[in-house]
Amino acid sequence: MIDRRTFLQTTALGAIAAAIGARAHAAEPLGIALILPSPNGDVGWSHSLVAGLDPVKAAYGDAVKITIVENIPEGPDADRIMNKAVADGNKVLIAGSFGYQNGAMQIAKRDPSVTVLHASGFMVAPNFSPFAAKYFQGTYLMGMAAAALSKSGKLGSVSAFAIPELITSINAFTLGAQAVNPNIEVSVVWVNSWFDPAKEQEAAKALLAQGCDVIFSNAQDTPSVISVCEEAGVPSFNLNSSMKSYAPKTYLGCVATDWSPFFKASVDAHVAGTFQGANAFLGVADKVVEVVDWSPNVPADLMAKIKEVEATIADGSFSPFTGPITKADGSEGVAAGTTLTDDQIVAMDWHVKGVATPLPQ
Protein backbone atom coordinates (compact mmCIF):
# COMPACT_ATOMS: atom_id res chain seq x y z
CA MET A 1 0.00 0.00 0.00
CA ILE A 2 1.12 3.52 -0.68
CA ASP A 3 0.80 5.65 2.48
CA ARG A 4 0.49 9.40 2.46
CA ARG A 5 4.13 10.10 3.20
CA THR A 6 5.57 8.03 0.38
CA PHE A 7 2.96 9.52 -1.89
CA LEU A 8 4.06 13.03 -0.97
CA GLN A 9 7.71 12.11 -1.34
CA THR A 10 7.31 10.56 -4.74
CA THR A 11 5.16 13.38 -6.06
CA ALA A 12 7.65 15.95 -4.76
CA LEU A 13 10.48 14.07 -6.42
CA GLY A 14 8.42 13.85 -9.53
CA ALA A 15 7.81 17.59 -9.51
CA ILE A 16 11.54 18.30 -9.10
CA ALA A 17 12.40 15.85 -11.84
CA ALA A 18 9.80 17.46 -14.08
CA ALA A 19 11.21 20.90 -13.32
CA ILE A 20 14.75 19.76 -14.14
CA GLY A 21 13.48 18.09 -17.22
CA ALA A 22 11.70 21.26 -18.27
CA ARG A 23 14.85 23.31 -17.74
CA ALA A 24 16.99 20.87 -19.67
CA HIS A 25 14.35 20.98 -22.37
CA ALA A 26 14.39 24.77 -22.46
CA ALA A 27 18.16 24.79 -22.89
CA GLU A 28 18.26 22.20 -25.63
CA PRO A 29 15.84 22.69 -28.55
CA LEU A 30 13.67 19.72 -29.47
CA GLY A 31 15.07 18.19 -32.64
CA ILE A 32 12.54 17.30 -35.33
CA ALA A 33 13.82 15.46 -38.42
CA LEU A 34 11.75 15.11 -41.59
CA ILE A 35 12.94 12.57 -44.17
CA LEU A 36 11.54 13.07 -47.69
CA PRO A 37 11.44 10.68 -50.67
CA SER A 38 11.57 13.40 -53.34
CA PRO A 39 13.10 16.87 -53.67
CA ASN A 40 11.29 19.52 -51.64
CA GLY A 41 9.77 21.46 -54.53
CA ASP A 42 7.22 24.25 -54.73
CA VAL A 43 4.28 21.83 -54.91
CA GLY A 44 3.43 18.21 -54.18
CA TRP A 45 3.75 15.64 -51.42
CA SER A 46 7.13 16.57 -49.98
CA HIS A 47 6.20 20.23 -50.07
CA SER A 48 2.98 19.59 -48.13
CA LEU A 49 4.92 17.76 -45.39
CA VAL A 50 7.44 20.60 -45.09
CA ALA A 51 4.64 23.17 -45.00
CA GLY A 52 2.93 21.13 -42.29
CA LEU A 53 5.82 21.87 -39.94
CA ASP A 54 5.54 25.65 -40.31
CA PRO A 55 2.95 26.08 -37.52
CA VAL A 56 5.11 23.91 -35.25
CA LYS A 57 8.03 26.24 -35.94
CA ALA A 58 5.80 29.27 -35.39
CA ALA A 59 4.46 27.95 -32.09
CA TYR A 60 7.75 26.77 -30.60
CA GLY A 61 10.24 29.18 -32.16
CA ASP A 62 13.77 28.46 -31.02
CA ALA A 63 12.56 25.64 -28.77
CA VAL A 64 12.51 23.36 -31.83
CA LYS A 65 15.16 22.68 -34.42
CA ILE A 66 13.81 21.25 -37.67
CA THR A 67 16.07 19.24 -39.96
CA ILE A 68 14.81 18.39 -43.45
CA VAL A 69 16.57 15.70 -45.47
CA GLU A 70 15.20 15.44 -49.01
CA ASN A 71 15.39 13.04 -51.93
CA ILE A 72 16.25 9.91 -49.93
CA PRO A 73 15.46 6.68 -51.83
CA GLU A 74 13.70 3.95 -49.89
CA GLY A 75 16.23 1.33 -48.83
CA PRO A 76 19.33 0.86 -46.70
CA ASP A 77 20.42 4.48 -47.16
CA ALA A 78 17.18 5.73 -45.65
CA ASP A 79 17.70 3.46 -42.63
CA ARG A 80 21.15 4.88 -42.07
CA ILE A 81 20.03 8.48 -42.49
CA MET A 82 17.18 8.03 -40.01
CA ASN A 83 19.61 6.42 -37.55
CA LYS A 84 21.99 9.32 -38.02
CA ALA A 85 19.20 11.85 -37.44
CA VAL A 86 18.29 10.15 -34.17
CA ALA A 87 21.95 9.83 -33.14
CA ASP A 88 22.27 13.60 -33.72
CA GLY A 89 19.68 14.08 -30.97
CA ASN A 90 16.47 14.47 -32.97
CA LYS A 91 13.60 13.20 -30.85
CA VAL A 92 10.72 13.47 -33.30
CA LEU A 93 11.26 11.62 -36.57
CA ILE A 94 8.85 12.10 -39.47
CA ALA A 95 9.41 9.37 -42.04
CA GLY A 96 7.80 10.74 -45.19
CA SER A 97 7.38 7.63 -47.30
CA PHE A 98 5.84 4.20 -46.99
CA GLY A 99 9.13 2.45 -47.79
CA TYR A 100 10.82 3.86 -44.67
CA GLN A 101 8.53 1.73 -42.51
CA ASN A 102 10.82 -1.10 -41.40
CA GLY A 103 13.80 1.13 -40.64
CA ALA A 104 11.69 3.68 -38.77
CA MET A 105 9.99 0.95 -36.72
CA GLN A 106 13.40 -0.44 -35.68
CA ILE A 107 14.37 3.00 -34.39
CA ALA A 108 11.10 3.36 -32.48
CA LYS A 109 11.57 -0.03 -30.81
CA ARG A 110 15.20 0.61 -29.90
CA ASP A 111 14.66 4.07 -28.42
CA PRO A 112 11.34 4.69 -26.64
CA SER A 113 12.25 8.36 -26.13
CA VAL A 114 11.92 8.96 -29.87
CA THR A 115 8.50 9.68 -31.38
CA VAL A 116 8.08 8.45 -34.96
CA LEU A 117 5.40 9.60 -37.40
CA HIS A 118 5.30 7.48 -40.55
CA ALA A 119 3.51 8.26 -43.80
CA SER A 120 1.01 5.79 -45.30
CA GLY A 121 2.07 2.73 -43.32
CA PHE A 122 0.16 0.20 -41.23
CA MET A 123 2.45 -0.59 -38.29
CA VAL A 124 1.71 0.94 -34.87
CA ALA A 125 3.78 1.06 -31.65
CA PRO A 126 3.48 3.13 -28.45
CA ASN A 127 5.86 5.71 -29.91
CA PHE A 128 5.07 5.12 -33.59
CA SER A 129 2.05 6.50 -35.46
CA PRO A 130 1.33 5.91 -39.13
CA PHE A 131 -0.50 8.78 -40.78
CA ALA A 132 -2.52 8.99 -43.98
CA ALA A 133 -5.02 11.37 -45.52
CA LYS A 134 -8.61 10.52 -46.43
CA TYR A 135 -8.10 11.85 -49.94
CA PHE A 136 -11.24 9.96 -50.99
CA GLN A 137 -13.40 12.48 -49.13
CA GLY A 138 -12.09 15.26 -51.36
CA THR A 139 -11.98 13.26 -54.59
CA TYR A 140 -15.67 12.40 -54.13
CA LEU A 141 -16.49 16.12 -54.27
CA MET A 142 -14.17 16.52 -57.27
CA GLY A 143 -16.02 13.70 -59.01
CA MET A 144 -19.31 15.59 -58.65
CA ALA A 145 -17.80 18.67 -60.29
CA ALA A 146 -16.01 16.63 -62.97
CA ALA A 147 -19.22 14.90 -64.05
CA ALA A 148 -20.92 18.25 -64.52
CA LEU A 149 -18.07 19.62 -66.66
CA SER A 150 -17.59 16.49 -68.77
CA LYS A 151 -19.27 16.35 -72.17
CA SER A 152 -18.05 12.92 -73.21
CA GLY A 153 -18.95 11.23 -69.93
CA LYS A 154 -15.41 9.87 -69.79
CA LEU A 155 -13.04 10.89 -67.02
CA GLY A 156 -9.39 9.90 -66.68
CA SER A 157 -6.81 9.47 -63.95
CA VAL A 158 -3.02 9.31 -64.12
CA SER A 159 -2.14 7.33 -61.01
CA ALA A 160 1.14 6.39 -59.37
CA PHE A 161 0.79 2.95 -57.74
CA ALA A 162 -2.17 0.61 -57.34
CA ILE A 163 -2.09 0.81 -53.55
CA PRO A 164 -5.27 1.20 -51.45
CA GLU A 165 -4.72 4.92 -50.82
CA LEU A 166 -4.85 5.65 -54.55
CA ILE A 167 -7.49 3.04 -55.36
CA THR A 168 -9.86 4.61 -52.85
CA SER A 169 -9.22 8.06 -54.35
CA ILE A 170 -10.23 6.78 -57.80
CA ASN A 171 -13.23 4.89 -56.44
CA ALA A 172 -14.58 7.88 -54.54
CA PHE A 173 -13.94 10.10 -57.58
CA THR A 174 -16.02 7.67 -59.66
CA LEU A 175 -18.80 7.43 -57.08
CA GLY A 176 -18.99 11.22 -56.76
CA ALA A 177 -19.23 11.55 -60.55
CA GLN A 178 -21.93 8.87 -60.71
CA ALA A 179 -23.93 10.77 -58.09
CA VAL A 180 -24.30 13.50 -60.73
CA ASN A 181 -24.24 11.40 -63.91
CA PRO A 182 -24.83 7.64 -63.37
CA ASN A 183 -23.34 6.74 -66.77
CA ILE A 184 -19.91 8.19 -66.15
CA GLU A 185 -16.81 6.06 -66.91
CA VAL A 186 -13.33 6.49 -65.51
CA SER A 187 -10.13 5.29 -67.23
CA VAL A 188 -6.89 4.90 -65.27
CA VAL A 189 -3.25 4.77 -66.35
CA TRP A 190 -0.88 3.40 -63.71
CA VAL A 191 2.60 4.86 -64.23
CA ASN A 192 4.16 2.81 -61.40
CA SER A 193 6.33 5.64 -60.21
CA TRP A 194 6.02 8.43 -57.66
CA PHE A 195 8.13 10.72 -59.79
CA ASP A 196 8.42 10.34 -63.55
CA PRO A 197 7.14 13.54 -65.19
CA ALA A 198 7.78 12.38 -68.77
CA LYS A 199 5.83 9.16 -68.33
CA GLU A 200 3.04 11.00 -66.49
CA GLN A 201 2.65 13.43 -69.38
CA GLU A 202 2.50 10.58 -71.90
CA ALA A 203 -0.17 8.94 -69.77
CA ALA A 204 -2.19 12.16 -69.65
CA LYS A 205 -1.96 12.54 -73.43
CA ALA A 206 -3.11 8.95 -73.89
CA LEU A 207 -6.18 9.59 -71.72
CA LEU A 208 -7.00 12.76 -73.65
CA ALA A 209 -6.69 10.85 -76.91
CA GLN A 210 -9.24 8.34 -75.59
CA GLY A 211 -11.74 11.16 -75.16
CA CYS A 212 -11.44 11.75 -71.42
CA ASP A 213 -12.26 15.40 -70.81
CA VAL A 214 -11.55 15.81 -67.07
CA ILE A 215 -8.29 14.46 -65.68
CA PHE A 216 -7.38 13.52 -62.11
CA SER A 217 -3.65 13.78 -61.42
CA ASN A 218 -3.45 11.13 -58.69
CA ALA A 219 -0.31 11.56 -56.55
CA GLN A 220 2.04 13.32 -58.96
CA ASP A 221 4.60 15.56 -57.32
CA THR A 222 5.00 17.93 -60.27
CA PRO A 223 2.49 19.75 -62.50
CA SER A 224 3.27 17.28 -65.31
CA VAL A 225 -0.33 16.18 -65.87
CA ILE A 226 -1.86 19.53 -64.96
CA SER A 227 0.18 21.42 -67.55
CA VAL A 228 -0.65 18.94 -70.35
CA CYS A 229 -4.35 19.42 -69.57
CA GLU A 230 -4.00 23.20 -69.54
CA GLU A 231 -2.50 23.05 -73.03
CA ALA A 232 -5.35 20.83 -74.20
CA GLY A 233 -7.93 23.07 -72.53
CA VAL A 234 -9.23 20.23 -70.36
CA PRO A 235 -10.06 20.65 -66.63
CA SER A 236 -7.78 18.79 -64.23
CA PHE A 237 -7.16 18.53 -60.49
CA ASN A 238 -4.54 17.06 -58.20
CA LEU A 239 -3.76 16.16 -54.60
CA ASN A 240 -1.71 17.69 -51.77
CA SER A 241 -0.98 21.28 -52.82
CA SER A 242 -2.50 23.67 -55.30
CA MET A 243 -1.08 23.78 -58.84
CA LYS A 244 -3.45 26.52 -60.00
CA SER A 245 -0.56 28.72 -61.13
CA TYR A 246 0.40 26.03 -63.67
CA ALA A 247 -3.11 25.87 -65.15
CA PRO A 248 -4.71 29.28 -64.61
CA LYS A 249 -7.42 28.72 -67.24
CA THR A 250 -8.65 25.16 -66.72
CA TYR A 251 -7.69 24.25 -63.13
CA LEU A 252 -10.58 22.44 -61.43
CA GLY A 253 -9.23 22.55 -57.88
CA CYS A 254 -7.00 20.80 -55.40
CA VAL A 255 -7.66 18.14 -52.77
CA ALA A 256 -5.15 19.77 -50.45
CA THR A 257 -3.57 18.19 -47.40
CA ASP A 258 -2.60 20.26 -44.40
CA TRP A 259 -0.56 18.16 -42.00
CA SER A 260 -0.04 20.95 -39.50
CA PRO A 261 -2.93 20.01 -37.12
CA PHE A 262 -1.53 16.47 -36.86
CA PHE A 263 2.13 17.49 -36.61
CA LYS A 264 1.36 20.18 -34.04
CA ALA A 265 -0.73 17.83 -31.89
CA SER A 266 1.93 15.12 -32.08
CA VAL A 267 4.75 17.46 -31.10
CA ASP A 268 2.62 18.89 -28.27
CA ALA A 269 1.97 15.36 -27.02
CA HIS A 270 5.66 14.46 -27.30
CA VAL A 271 6.66 17.52 -25.27
CA ALA A 272 4.00 16.79 -22.65
CA GLY A 273 5.12 13.16 -22.51
CA THR A 274 1.65 11.91 -23.40
CA PHE A 275 2.28 10.75 -26.97
CA GLN A 276 0.45 7.53 -27.73
CA GLY A 277 1.04 5.84 -31.07
CA ALA A 278 -2.14 5.25 -33.05
CA ASN A 279 -3.28 4.97 -36.64
CA ALA A 280 -3.91 8.55 -37.76
CA PHE A 281 -6.30 8.36 -40.72
CA LEU A 282 -7.30 11.97 -41.11
CA GLY A 283 -9.76 13.78 -43.34
CA VAL A 284 -12.07 16.74 -43.77
CA ALA A 285 -13.28 16.64 -40.16
CA ASP A 286 -9.68 16.85 -38.90
CA LYS A 287 -8.97 19.82 -41.20
CA VAL A 288 -6.21 17.74 -42.82
CA VAL A 289 -8.03 17.28 -46.14
CA GLU A 290 -9.62 20.33 -47.72
CA VAL A 291 -10.67 21.11 -51.29
CA VAL A 292 -9.27 24.49 -52.30
CA ASP A 293 -9.03 26.67 -55.41
CA TRP A 294 -12.38 25.55 -56.84
CA SER A 295 -12.80 26.42 -60.50
CA PRO A 296 -15.29 29.24 -61.19
CA ASN A 297 -16.63 27.08 -64.08
CA VAL A 298 -18.49 24.74 -61.72
CA PRO A 299 -22.21 25.73 -61.96
CA ALA A 300 -23.38 27.62 -58.88
CA ASP A 301 -26.26 25.27 -58.03
CA LEU A 302 -23.95 22.24 -58.19
CA MET A 303 -21.37 24.09 -56.10
CA ALA A 304 -23.99 24.65 -53.43
CA LYS A 305 -24.77 20.93 -53.48
CA ILE A 306 -21.07 20.05 -53.26
CA LYS A 307 -20.73 22.29 -50.21
CA GLU A 308 -23.71 20.52 -48.63
CA VAL A 309 -22.10 17.11 -49.18
CA GLU A 310 -18.78 18.44 -47.85
CA ALA A 311 -20.55 19.51 -44.66
CA THR A 312 -22.11 16.06 -44.22
CA ILE A 313 -18.70 14.43 -44.73
CA ALA A 314 -17.18 16.79 -42.16
CA ASP A 315 -19.81 16.06 -39.51
CA GLY A 316 -19.59 12.34 -40.16
CA SER A 317 -23.17 11.83 -41.32
CA PHE A 318 -22.08 10.74 -44.81
CA SER A 319 -19.28 8.58 -46.20
CA PRO A 320 -18.54 8.13 -49.91
CA PHE A 321 -18.29 4.39 -49.29
CA THR A 322 -21.91 3.85 -48.28
CA GLY A 323 -23.74 0.91 -49.88
CA PRO A 324 -25.06 -0.23 -52.18
CA ILE A 325 -21.79 -0.19 -54.14
CA THR A 326 -21.10 -2.65 -56.94
CA LYS A 327 -17.57 -3.76 -57.76
CA ALA A 328 -16.14 -3.37 -61.26
CA ASP A 329 -16.52 -7.15 -61.78
CA GLY A 330 -20.25 -6.91 -61.02
CA SER A 331 -20.19 -8.49 -57.57
CA GLU A 332 -21.40 -6.71 -54.47
CA GLY A 333 -18.83 -4.37 -52.89
CA VAL A 334 -20.78 -2.77 -50.09
CA ALA A 335 -24.24 -3.97 -49.07
CA ALA A 336 -27.10 -1.48 -48.99
CA GLY A 337 -27.30 0.34 -45.69
CA THR A 338 -23.73 -0.40 -44.59
CA THR A 339 -20.66 1.82 -44.68
CA LEU A 340 -17.06 0.71 -45.01
CA THR A 341 -14.99 1.10 -41.85
CA ASP A 342 -11.61 2.85 -41.88
CA ASP A 343 -9.92 -0.55 -41.63
CA GLN A 344 -11.76 -1.76 -44.70
CA ILE A 345 -10.98 1.43 -46.60
CA VAL A 346 -7.23 1.28 -45.96
CA ALA A 347 -7.17 -2.27 -47.33
CA MET A 348 -9.39 -1.67 -50.38
CA ASP A 349 -8.14 -3.68 -53.37
CA TRP A 350 -11.04 -3.48 -55.84
CA HIS A 351 -12.50 -0.88 -58.16
CA VAL A 352 -16.12 0.22 -58.15
CA LYS A 353 -18.34 -0.25 -61.20
CA GLY A 354 -17.66 2.54 -63.65
CA VAL A 355 -13.87 2.31 -63.48
CA ALA A 356 -13.20 1.00 -66.97
CA THR A 357 -9.57 -0.04 -66.47
CA PRO A 358 -9.04 -3.33 -64.64
CA LEU A 359 -6.83 -3.19 -61.57
CA PRO A 360 -3.32 -4.60 -62.23
CA GLN A 361 -2.99 -7.99 -60.57
Among 63, 81, 206, 232, binds another protein (CB under 8 A): 81
- Asked whether position 162 contacts another protein by CB under 8 A, the answer is yes
Q: Interface with another protein by CB under 8 A: which range of 147-155, 159-167, 208-216, 308-316?
A: 159-167
Q: Is residue 49 within 8 Å of residue 94, measured between CB atoms?
A: yes
Strand runs (DSSP E) across the chain, as ranges? 30-35, 64-69, 90-95, 115-119, 128-133, 154-159, 185-190, 215-218, 236-240, 251-257, 280-282, 289-292, 325-326, 332-334
Among 167, 191, 226, 254, binds another protein (CB under 8 A): 167
Compute the distance between CA of residue 204 and CA of residue 212 in angstroms, rounded to an integer.
Answer: 9
- Asked whether position 14 contacts another protein by CB under 8 A, the answer is no
Among 273, 296, 337, 360, binds another protein (CB under 8 A): 360
Among 28, 77, 342, 343, binds another protein (CB under 8 A): 77
Phi, psi of 49 (to 5 degrees): -70, -45
Closest CB to another protein among residues 70, 231: 70
- Asked whether position 23 contacts another protein by CB under 8 A, the answer is no
Among 76, 182, 296, 337, binds another protein (CB under 8 A): 76
Nearest to 350 by CA among 339, 360, 337, 342: 360
Helix, strand and coil in the chain, % to nearest 5: 45, 20, 35
Compute the distance between CA of residue 145 and CA of residue 176 in angstroms, rounded to an integer.
Answer: 8
Among 18, 87, 292, 311, binds another protein (CB under 8 A): 87
CB of 121 to another protein, least distance (A): 9
Which positions touch another protein (CB under 8 A)?
A: 33, 39, 67, 69-71, 73-77, 79-81, 83-85, 87-88, 98-99, 102, 122, 161-164, 167, 192, 346-347, 349, 360-361
